[in-house]
Structure 1
């Protein structure tokens, strides 16, 4: 898949020196994997196996199947190897997997935690796309960078006629009782309606309904959510039933479901129905 789509390397948007586009080579994929390693393993709580420690890359079998959105900073030129040419630094990444590709290669990554097949079967006339492995370098965790990533995703959705986006989103920590307010907030205030509902697999299921609705401090819970989850909520995302503990990454995963037809209209108009807002 990598670099074989017609839009590989094509700019999907710019804000000042920042640009979003798809990776167009194995070298760029490796740089995205290195960025993910820095964020997930060095900054956050992921536990690296020997191979991951040796390569300093976060990678799995799905990477070769996915397209990878990159945010580049043209004001920060770096050498990725000694004596190599200066190139814009990759400061953010997001990977996407289209249903037609997943169907040819054993399904989606998310199906290892959630009963995705039931959702696909219920909406067999729709075109699904999985989002995953989102990360941004700490100095770039700003509104501009997030907006640019979402502009890239929206452009990609339009290019490939995607009807539904979904994927795992993570809250740092593996003790659901310590995350009771966040999980209960998502359960009570953002749960997917029945037609879009999906449950965590039975052997991994963690109940998100940990506090009664009237005991959840709405504002405090919303503030405490990771920026990515707050972004999903603003876009109009639904959340699945049950969470999953990911001990390797030191996180608690929840499922987001975003039918394109249900996206917040103000965000669609913000980016442009033709993804023209930040087009270059």
Structure 2
């Protein structure tokens, strides 16, 4: 258990906890307050719940899927959408952070800080070398995010040795198809907060975005190599984690 500000972060320990996480995911991703967003990966993951300490209200959830080595990469959630064979040669331990969502009515930045505190503790305790996942933009209209994609193309593409290839049937190949110089102010304004956090830690992304109509998102594969996080950022994250 970890406390940050007005929030408590804990692992799901029961079927009731997992159901609560799935219901929040359904609300955040699908707009269905009474539904459950669930898949076969849930049984293999460590699930985190962030709750208000005073009310007990669930405000944020995410899950972590550890992979011992690169050759296990095909067993992750992101491999459904990206061809990740390049990462089979990755030499260290990996963890996939997925299904991250915050309650639509909650806008306190401390929720994201609490999440990063818990993720930092998990990474340190499990000696993780690569944290990765799918970072999502709301909606599937690429026109809303052209400056953001142009900035990703110019500054944050994955190293060629790890670069994911196209697998999903519908993608936006922004690195090769987008002819635009980014307006950096607009790029940052439209960048999802989770992806912005990844990039501040030296994170990199795929050269294309997957158009996921089921989830009504555009998402990019995103990786952070722990050894490449700037020292000042590492100190800040570990201070959050206590």
Q: TM-score, normalised by structure 2?
A: 0.90
How many pairs does the alignment contain? 241
Q: Deviations over 1:29-61 (max 9, x none)?
A: 10011111111122xxxxx7xxxx9x6111111
Q: How does 1:186-205 map to 2 (within 5 A)?
A: 186-201=152-167, 203-205=169-171
Equivalent residue, structure 2, for 1:85: none
SS at match of 2:234: helix
Equivalent residue, structure 1, for 2:18: 29
Query: Is 1:128 aligned to residue 82 of structure 2?
Result: no
Q: TM-score, normalised by structure 1?
A: 0.79
In the alignment, is the contact (CA less than 8 A) between 1:37 and 1:57 conserved in 2?
A: yes
Equivalent residue, structure 2, for 1:81: none
Q: How does 1:142-181 map to 2 (within 5 A)?
A: 142-181=108-147
- 1:122: how far off? 2.2
- 1:103: how far off? 7.5
When residues 242 and 277 of structure 1 are mapped into structure 2, their CA distance, relative to the original with a 3 A threshold, is closer
C-alpha separation in 2, matches of 1:212 and 1:106: 32
C-alpha separation in 2, matches of 1:26 and 1:195: 40
When residues 104 and 179 of structure 1 are mapped into structure 2, their CA distance, relative to the original with a 3 A threshold, is closer
Query: Is 1:212 aligned to residue 179 of structure 2?
Result: yes
- 1:184: how far off? 1.9
When residues 176 and 104 of structure 1 are mapped into structure 2, their CA distance, relative to the original with a 3 A threshold, is closer
Of the three residues 32, 36, 61, the one matched with 1:93 is 61
Q: Deviations over 1:153-197 (max 9, x none)?
A: 010111111110111111112233443222222111211122332
Of the three residues 17, 20, 25, the one matched with 2:6 is 17
Equivalent residue, structure 1, for 2:45: 66
Q: Deviations over 1:33-90 (max 9, x none)?
A: 1111111122xxxxx7xxxx9x6111111111111111111211xxxxxxxxxxx222
Equivalent residue, structure 2, for 1:3: none
SS at match of 2:161: helix
Unaligned runs of 5+ in 2: none
- 1:105: how far off? 11
SS at match of 1:138: coil
Equivalent residue, structure 2, for 1:57: 36
When residues 133 and 207 of structure 1 are mapped into structure 2, their CA distance, relative to the original with a 3 A threshold, is same
C-alpha separation in 1, matches of 2:168 and 2:46: 30
RMSD of aligned residue pairs (Cα, Å): 2.4
Equivalent residue, structure 1, for 2:27: 38
Q: Deviations over 1:121-176 (max 9, x none)?
A: 221x2111111111111343322111110010010111111110111111112233
C-alpha separation in 2, matches of 1:63 and 1:147: 24
Structure having the higher Rg? 1
More divergent stretch after superposition (93-102 vs 20-29): 93-102
Query: Is 1:242 aligned to residue 208 of structure 2?
Result: yes
SS at match of 1:129: strand
Unaligned runs of 5+ in 1: 1-10, 43-47, 77-87
C-alpha separation in 2, matches of 1:221 and 1:108: 29
